[in-house]
Amino acid sequence: MLLGFPRLNLFDFSIASAYNDATSVGSKILKTVIGVDLGGTNIVSAVVNEKGKVLGKDKRKTQALLGAVGVMNRIVDSIHAASQNSGLSWNSHLAVGIGSPGPLNPKKGLIIYTPNLNWKNVRIVDYLHKKLHKKVVLENDANLAALGETWIGAGKGEKFVLCITLGTGVGGGLILEGKIYEGAWGVSNHIGHIVVDPNGPKAPYGNSGILEQYVSATGIVRLATEAGLKLPPGQPLEAYSFQKMAEAGNSKALKVYDQAGKMLAVGLTTAIHLLNPGVIIFSGGVAGAGDLLMKPMMKELKVRCFASHLKGLKFRMAKLGDNMGVVGAARLAWQSLQKGKNPHK
């Protein structure tokens, strides 16, 4: 049970000592942090300065079969490689931010469960802190995507930002006045689990008819397969293959994306009415379908949403690309250094 876990005492890191140890260039102190994006396939680490510029980067396979300790050791190696690639001294890095699939408990530095790694109750912050001797903070990867885009990407200058990642699954991140909204105990913003059809297909997690089953990459493949679409020989069974068919004018493929767009609107209607965001940002491979998905989505939103909620609401595509996760993780690390406090408190 989670209630039995002791609280970590890793967030009393001295900001003064960190700044004193940073690399000096002449009389100027060069300060950086390291952002890490942990995924089921890849680990990406990057050294990032105070303006969000990536100064050094490393990308390597996660190798999930190594188990939690093995993968965490690969994270340590990746962090050191990114540091070396930046050309900066180890002492210039003041903190480390980690983005991971969830659910998580960021305040305790705990990955509760992540299916693509098959981890349960892994205290990743504690482990990395001991290995790196740096302040370490943890957050859901979708939340960090939103934080990165709000910092220097498509949401820059906006106060109320909802970021939706349409990839293998569907994730969401909500930024309120520059800070991640994570709920009472850090498991909010799972927008992919909004029910859009109570009579829809059963999800692996026990619910039925959730948004993820319609607008994720796996959802697109499911819809296309059910529509009887057949790919040419040699084409991989993936959402992008069906996207190309739709772009070429295939009527069945176009209907798949029309259905997916409408279901995205159904899910967004709930989010818009509840949260009243100022901008919604789309990221992930499925969002690359562009108008194939967005036109039916907008048409359906105009039918379902109050005009008062749509008026002034902006829709944008993410700008940071592959750096979105590491930049967001770095932003979290920078925020954690403000007054030497944990950003989740």
List, for residues 113-172, the tens digit of each pLDDT value: 987 798 999 999 999 999 999 999 999 999 999 999 999 999 999 999 999 999 888 999
pTM: 0.84
Superfamily of domain 154-318: ATPase, nucleotide binding domain (3.30.420.40)
Residue 291's CB: how many other CB atoms inside 10 A? 12
pLDDT-based confidence at 22, cuts 50/70/90?
low
Type and span of the H or E element at 225: helix 217-226
CA separation for the pair 187, 193 (Å, rounded): 12
What are the angstrom distances between the C-alpha of 122 and each of 3, 139, 186, 189, 336? Answer: 15, 13, 15, 21, 21
40 vs 249: which has the higher pLDDT: 249
**In the prediction, which pLDDT does 6 show?**
37
Range name among 99-103, 119-123, 185-189, 262-266 with the lowest pLDDT average: 185-189
Task: Say whether pLDDT at 7 is over 90.
Answer: no
Res 222: pLDDT: 96
Q: Could you tell me which residues are beta bridge partners of residue 59?
A: 44
Please, which residues have CB within 8 angstroms of residue 324's CB and are 6 or more apart in sequence? Answer: 144, 145, 148, 149, 153, 283, 318
2-147: CATH architecture:
2-Layer Sandwich (3.30)
- On the 0-12 / 13-18 / 19+ scale of CB atoms within 10 A, 207 is middle
Peptide bond into 103 cis (omega under 30): yes
Cα–Cα dist 177/159, whole Å:
4
Instruction: Convert the pLDDT of each residue in 279-297 to its tens digit.
Output: 999 999 999 999 999 999 9
| Residue ranges of the chain assigned to CATH 3.30.420.40 | 2-147, 154-318
